[in-house]
Amino acid sequence: MRVRFWGTRGSIATPGPDTNHFGGNTSCVEVTTDNGAHLIIDCGTGAHRLAGHLMSRGEEPISVNILIGHTHWDHIQGFPFFGPLFVPGNSVAIHGPEGGHGSLHEVLAGQMEFTYFPVELSQLPAAITYHELSEGIHTIGGVRIAAQYLNHPAMTLGYRVEADGVAIVYLADHEPFSDELWRADAEPGHIASILHDGDRRHASFMAGADLVIHDAQYTPEEYPTKKGWGHSTYDYAVRMSAAAGVRCLALTHHDPDHNDHFVAEIERKARTLATQCGTGLDVFCAYEGCELALEPLTTLTPFVPPTWAHAPVSHHRFRVLVVDDHPDMLALIAGALQDEQYIVSTATNGPEALRMIAEQAPDLVVLDYKMAGMDGIAVTTALRVMPETESLPVLMLTTNTDEPSTRAGFAAGVTDYLTKPFSIPQLTSRVRACLARHGSS
Ligand SMILES: [Zn+2]
Ligand SMILES: [Zn+2]
């Protein structure tokens, strides 16, 4: 399998002398398998030059699969400039996560309305198809591809491509689920020792991969002021990859404020940390034009996704119960979820919540941790001993970011654990992911 980086920058394209080495174009990676399957992952501004490269090879017609992790600008801005779209006879299949605001087609067409762009999407002569993906295993261009949600304030999928005896995993944009990575009662450096279920799932998704391409937009020093924006630090990416037994880690989605000198310094620090982890992990900062040919080193273990029941989230009106003893917070969350077309009811304390759950059988409970009287942990514990609610998804909201509280939440049986303060897009993405995995349809 061959991998080539056409765009390594996050957020906004930053061409110029200061970014010449690592590159100024936004996210775009080309993957080619030995039998000629052609995948493009993300369609940031890097896709423009990739398109030129494809067309200069003179192959006609061109047939490609584009996998979009999510539809933030830096992952779709190259799409209107993707040359093969303008040639009759070419075929372009676009894949991306379901459950965002509007369909994949609507979102891509939106950035090509006449206000923004001279040619509308419907005028493009190539045969374009749209495929909305859920978590799980897909076959795209004859290649086995696993998809799993990332932690980002938009519905975002990471992709694991398995072909030619190797696995590459693309994970942008993603933020740690928890500030604390390890359980206090376990030896750090192993997947089983990861505190938050979300981070553990993330590490399992990359387990044994030959190449992981991971968001590493920030340094640990920068992260506290950027929390909630949906990006990782290089040390998180290194520690997770090492725990997951990854062979090689490419750090990407470089911050637009980081020049070549700064990114090179990140690379130096990441390599030092990888050496300290002691797993033989090779790490580098991805740069535009970087091309890798991956050969199998060991027998590939195909990824097996968790066995939860997937529910289609796009066309189903889910019922959500919101439980919080702070009226302002309750109104804020309920309003945000109503805007997302959920059928929302509310409760202000634990006993009332249990009564309403028994009466209404909601698809999901958004539950405050700290409440007077019966707290969120006690509510969850009560739900888990009853057969009707033992698998009801519970998204716990809390200001308690410490390790013992997080561990207590998961021990009680919460499905996901989201710490305050959070943004509305963060909340709605996590609600959607919970429902997609566990919601009854
Ligand atoms: Zn991005
Ligand atoms: Zn993003």
> What is the Å distance from ligand 1's center to 172 Cα?
7
CATH code of the domain covering residue 216:
3.60.15.10
Same domain? For 172 and 55 the reply is yes
Same domain? For 289 and 323 the reply is no
> What is the Å distance from ligand 2's center to 308 Cα?
26
Closest-approaching ligand to the CA atom of 70: 2
Closest-approaching ligand to the CA atom of 216: 1
Pick from 275, 293, 311: which residue ends a domain?
Answer: 293
Distance CA 97, CA 312 (A): 11
Distance CA 258, CA 16 (A): 12
Give the pLDDT of residue 319. 96
- In one-letter notation, the amino acid at residue 279 is T
Residue 300 lies in a domain: no
> What is the Å distance from ligand 2's center to 264 Cα?
23
For residue 377, report the phi and psi dihedrals to the nearest 5 degrees. -65, -45
> What is the Å distance from ligand 1's center to 150 Cα?
12
How would you label 296-335 residue by residue, b for 16+ Cβ within 10 Å and e otherwise?
eeeebeebebeeeeebebeeeebebbbbbbeeeebeebbe
Whether cis (ω within 30° of 0) applies to the bond prior to 61 is: yes
Minimum mean pLDDT among 169-183, 238-252, 425-439: which range?
425-439
> What is the Å distance from ligand 1's center to 66 Cα?
16
First to last CA, the chain: 38
> What is the Å distance from ligand 1's center to 425 Cα?
15
> What is the Å distance from ligand 2's center to 340 Cα?
19
How does pLDDT run across 277-307, given as a tens digit for each residue?
999 999 999 999 999 999 999 899 999 988 7
> What is the Å distance from ligand 2's center to 75 Cα?
7
Is the per-residue pLDDT at 215 higher than 70? yes
Give the structural domain span for 336. 319-438
Closest-approaching ligand to the CA atom of 230: 2
> What is the Å distance from ligand 2's center to 205 Cα?
19
Nearest by Cα to 74 from 156, 133, 147: 156
Per-residue pLDDT band at 125 (split at 50, 70, 90): very high
Per-residue pLDDT band at 374 (split at 50, 70, 90): very high
Closest-approaching ligand to the CA atom of 72: 2
Same domain? For 281 and 334 the reply is no
> What is the Å distance from ligand 1's center to 44 Cα?
9
Is the per-residue pLDDT at 331 higher than 90? yes
Pick from 228, 258, 293: which residue ends a domain?
Answer: 293
> What is the Å distance from ligand 2's center to 37 Cα?
27
CATH code of the domain covering residue 434:
3.40.50.2300
Same domain? For 337 and 285 the reply is no
Same domain? For 152 and 229 the reply is yes
For residue 146, report the phi and psi dihedrals to the nearest 5 degrees. -95, 145
Closest-approaching ligand to the CA atom of 229: 2
Query: For all residues of the chain together, what is the average pLDDT?
Result: 95
Same domain? For 236 and 371 the reply is no
> What is the Å distance from ligand 1's center to 71 Cα?
9
> What is the Å distance from ligand 2's center to 346 Cα?
31
> What is the Å distance from ligand 1's center to 215 Cα?
8
Residue 139 lies in a domain: yes
Same domain? For 327 and 254 the reply is no
Give the pLDDT of residue 58. 86
Concatenating the DSSP letter of every residue in 26-85 gives BSEEEEE-TT--EEEE--STHHHHHHHHHHHTT-SS-EEEEE-S--SHHHHTTGGG-GGG
Same domain? For 289 and 348 the reply is no
How does pLDDT run across 4-59, given as a tens digit for each residue?
999 999 999 999 999 999 999 999 999 999 999 999 999 999 999 999 999 999 88
Distance CA 439, CA 309 (A): 8
Distances (CA, A) of 74 to 14, 43, 54, 85, 153: 11, 8, 21, 19, 14
Residue 220 lies in a domain: yes
Other C-beta atoms closer than 10 Å to the C-beta of 248 total 18
Whether cis (ω within 30° of 0) applies to the bond prior to 235 is: no
Give the pLDDT of residue 309. 62
Degrees (nearest 5) of the Cα angle 197, 206, 158?
80
Closest-approaching ligand to the CA atom of 150: 2
Contact 436, 311 (CB under 8 A): yes
Give the pLDDT of residue 260. 98
> What is the Å distance from ligand 1's center to 313 Cα?
23
Same domain? For 273 and 216 the reply is yes
For residue 407, report the phi and psi dihedrals to the nearest 5 degrees. -65, -40
Domain count, the chain: 2
Tokens describing residue 239: 């520690």
Contact 379, 334 (CB under 8 A): no
Same domain? For 117 and 32 the reply is yes
Closest-approaching ligand to the CA atom of 10: 1
How would you label 403-419 residue by residue, b for 16+ Cβ within 10 Å and e otherwise?
bebbbbbbebbbbbbbb
Residue 129 lies in a domain: yes
Give the pLDDT of residue 25. 98
Same domain? For 271 and 346 the reply is no
